[in-house]
Amino acid sequence: MSNNIKHDRRRRILFTGGGSAGHVTVNAALIPAFIAQGWDVSYMGSMHGIESQLIQRFSGVAYHGISTGKLRRYADVQNLKDPFRVVKGTLQAFRIIRELRPDVLFSKGGFVSVPVVLGAWLNRVPVIIHESDLTPGLANRIAIPFASKVCVTFKETVRQMSRDKAVHIGPIIREELSRGIPERGLKWCGFTSGKPVLLIMGGSLGSQKINQMIRRHAQQLTRTFQIIHICGKGQLDTTVQLPEYKQFEYIHDELADAVACADIVISRAGSNSIFEFLALGKPMLLIPLSKEASRGDQILNARSFEEQGYCEVLLEEEMTDDSFMRAVASVYARRGEIKESMTRMITGDAITQVIELIRDIAKKQ
């Protein structure tokens, strides 16, 4: 992508967010709208992170890579080096933002966003943050004091921050996912229409525990299901070869069709993904990241959905061969009941709300 810095009178917006696909999804849903409206759109992320790859598909969006550290919750020698990387990234972001002169920064979070938010604040560029999870992540908790507004997905999140800053907008759903065609997804996978489809998504980086569980029981599961297994980068296992089991590191253009043909879904409990499955009426078995591997946000997300009847939850710590197979069978047996609960969900047009908020703040510049 071009790194040319443009100096014209069009409105300019800078996006940031990365480290995982979940920290890019919301930005990817918003970017086409701003391109269509004639804005000058740029993106700032890490040098070689997944965000740099995912943004490449947007023609005309300049990508600016900066130095980034990682906000770890565990002991690691890299923790000694990362503060210097964050400082370096902040200085890089400050210089680039000073030249870009964006009207507004929209941040989806992730460790890469912290130096960008600081660089924008130092340049007096208003910052809007988006928080998908029920509780703010570490990067967003650091960044929130420097933000003008914080858009939240869960109503409960509003109570955790000042009311003049938090704005409940609900889930932002990628429009292209609603255009999926089941028949096209079946044909792409080489499946038939006479057997239900089980879709597994363990996140962009994959989940070894879920992947291992699926593969260990793939032969048994294919007695009931045709399986689409999105296993994450570097997680393919070519030793598992079954006609009705298809595995992919990641699905891009065909994702809408793959989701459309699924009867039930097994997933982690990242907010972006589960709200998209909810909007598409896909009954879910959620296996959230454990507290040992995360801050527990996915567990809170999953329990909130479970209380509303949108899913069943299997904690990773309680996942055994038997409990996993029982949970899959239970979600499939209850799929009609779960879909009925999903139809009672009331959502507004979150994308329009966010665009209007961004436009209002940009006008003040």
pLDDT tens, residue by residue, 228-246 = 999 988 899 999 999 999 9
Q: Is the pTM of this model over 0.75?
A: yes
| Structural contact between residues 127 and 105, judged by C-beta atoms closer than 8 angstroms | yes
β 127-131/149-152 pair status: parallel
Residue 73 has what pLDDT?
53
248-257 — which CB contacts under 8 Å span 24+ positions?
Answer: 249/206, 250/21, 250/204, 252/57, 254/185, 254/188, 255/177, 255/180, 256/176, 256/177, 256/178, 256/179, 256/180, 256/181, 257/180, 257/181, 257/182, 257/184, 257/185, 257/188
Alpha-carbon distance of 14 to 36, in angstroms, equals 15
Helix or strand (DSSP H, E) at 271: helix 271-279
Secondary-structure class of domain 176-342 per CATH: alpha beta
Alpha-carbon distance of 191 to 148, in angstroms, equals 49
Secondary-structure class of domain 12-170+348-363 per CATH: alpha beta
**294-320 pLDDT tens trace:** 778 899 999 999 999 999 999 999 999
Look up residue 248 and give its amino acid.
Answer: F
Alpha-carbon distance of 254 to 38, in angstroms, equals 28
292: pLDDT confidence band, cut at 50, 70 and 90? confident
Domain 12-170+348-363 matches domain 176-342 at the CATH topology level: yes
Q: Which residues pair with 128 in a beta bridge?
A: 106, 149
**28-77 pLDDT tens trace:** 999 999 999 999 999 999 988 889 888 988 999 999 999 886 655 545 55
**What residues does each domain of the chain span?**
12-170+348-363, 176-342
Helix or strand (DSSP H, E) at 274: helix 271-279
Taking Cα atoms as reference points, which of 72, 152, 55, 69 lies closest to residue 113? Answer: 69
